Structure 1
């Protein structure tokens, strides 16, 4: 029987619909023999409850919180707009979404914000964090008081959180490494990686993936020591300008984190051949740089899709149902395939 209904269950159990509904929702007042018959019918028919319909009928509502980095940061601004775009869309599903500001790349500050959440204040929390003992403890506390935590973009507190929603960052790094190898053919080159912070698992994983591919046999590509710029434009300007001045043989740049507006400004000043450049996230600035031929490829993790998947997963977790790990597959944008 395809998609058996509760009416089918009641008929098979020889009870009324209301009795089957009382058994399913554990409202009591049903004889033990009737409970057993309903449970047997559910098992034999393979009945699966429609949680969405059940939630609507009992006017179930959800309260979700996102703790997002603030500041002049292209990708986090795009991600924030993706969350804000879901606020009105999800009202019909009785989902209330609020956004809370936290400093970027500051796991301890994020942990302090999470520590202020009390039991019963919300149904699920979405965060972007980096590894720290304080953050792990804060996530463990929330999980302990019945508030699940979903990590986005970069996984963190992996032994405590409920779910990670985002791209495979090692695979993303390998993709960047492969693009750099294609650009160099089987020749030699010197590739400069730039990241925000090694404490950020996504940055560390991307660097690891790129290193694996660049170390493969064939060609002679040397991966230089990474510049750590803390996603700050002024640090990017200062450190990258110094690196290019001291090593004119740099033939490739892999920007793993943010601060890319400053990177693009420096590239604009280069006269003559420039390095082959791969960076992450399609923002207004990276799009303009692709169009102007200042960079070569952007690996984008599709934040609108990522946030939509995260909210759906948060609903499933709040309903205490099994969660299938959502897949977010990044897109490689070149100057030739930019979306309208």
Structure 2
């Protein structure tokens, strides 16, 4: 609850501002732990808040400790079930965070739009001490990152990084290795050593997707030279687009033996497979969610690669609150029907 509510018998925020000799906006920033207040002013406002009874002794003591970080999490909007799950987990933390824990806010911005991401980074840096985000490989994003870092806001990328930017830690998988693992599984599980295999992605603008593609292609070329790789289709992690792409793949390649979805929203692919009775295909995808769990159970999917969302969030927050501790790559979880948690 914000401390600008009117409560009978207690001073209001305007009373605190007048007693401390500051503007109402400054008093609001101090009490609601926003940036933009000098430390000397912050301490003065808190002292007065205790003196006039705006804050209890216990609250004043907690506020007097080191101010927790303001952290914004920016996630791509869309129909990707894993991203929705990740957003739900962040919002759960928002509801239960204590007064001296990082203050979290979560926002969804237009997916695969570099301009929207750059604008979001700049806009939220006015409040945030740190921002956690999915990166898009684009010059306007890099320019925004430079500006935000120069303004003193820390940045951490999750799942998909920005490349060689030493000031930004990344929390995620070794995605080239992930792609090679998918290639190995698909090649071993395929019903034939010859035929076509297909790749579906969200977008190559996500480094994580292009790295998984590169790893997959290198493994297939190395170990399964008789498998023919059909060029990647970009479905923007949209179930309807992935559905249409899969139907096109069935028309394009009568000898299709497997599909690897390097991105999300696998439900569109499984829908097409069920409609066309193509359950004999090997299908590997990402993100253990309700739809992929069901697909594993009914045999439409063979394997799901996953990153634990809670560990992902924990590591990203720690990168901001303890920047001297370098994050390790996450462990890849691979689920089959028989080892579902």
**TM-score higher than 0.5:** yes
Give 1:229 shift: 1.4
Given that 2:279 and 2:300 are in contact with CA atoms closer than 8 Å, whether structure 1 keeps it comes out as no
Root-mean-square deviation over aligned CA pairs: 2.1
Where does residue 199 of structure 1 map in the other structure? 205
> Closer, same or farther in 2 for the Cα pair 1:153/1:272, shift >3 Å?
closer
Instruction: State the distance in 2 between where 1:256 and 1:228 align.
Output: 10
Instruction: State the distance in 2 between where 1:118 and 1:234 align.
Output: 34
Aligned to 2:277, the other structure's residue is in SS state: coil
Q: Which deviates more from structure 2 when the two are superposed, residues 305-314 or residues 180-189?
A: 180-189
Where does residue 106 of structure 1 map in the other structure? 113
Aligned to 2:72, the other structure's residue is in SS state: strand
> Closer, same or farther in 2 for the Cα pair 1:218/1:94, shift >3 Å?
closer
The alignment of Structure 1 onto Structure 2 pairs a total of residues equal to 280
Where does residue 175 of structure 2 map in the other structure? 169
The TM-score with structure 2 as length reference comes to 0.77
The structure 2 residue matched to 1:73, chosen from 80, 83, 97, is: 80
Given that 1:136 and 1:157 are in contact with CA atoms closer than 8 Å, whether structure 2 keeps it comes out as no
Which structure 2 residues correspond to residues 116-195 of structure 1 after superposition, within 5 A? 116-117=123-124, 121-156=127-162, 158-159=164-165, 161-184=167-190, 187-195=193-201
> Closer, same or farther in 2 for the Cα pair 1:118/1:73, shift >3 Å?
closer
Give 1:57 shift: 8.0
Where does residue 248 of structure 2 map in the other structure? 242
Structure 2: gaps spanning 5 or more residues: 1-61
Q: Which deviates more from structure 2 when the two are superposed, residues 239-248 or residues 202-211?
A: 239-248
Where does residue 24 of structure 2 map in the other structure? none
Give 1:109 shift: 0.6
Instruction: State the distance in 2 between where 1:225 and 1:324 align.
Output: 36
Instruction: State the distance in 1 between where 2:137 and 2:166 align.
Output: 12
Give 1:87 shift: 2.3
> Closer, same or farther in 2 for the Cα pair 1:326/1:90, shift >3 Å?
farther
> Closer, same or farther in 2 for the Cα pair 1:57/1:194, shift >3 Å?
same
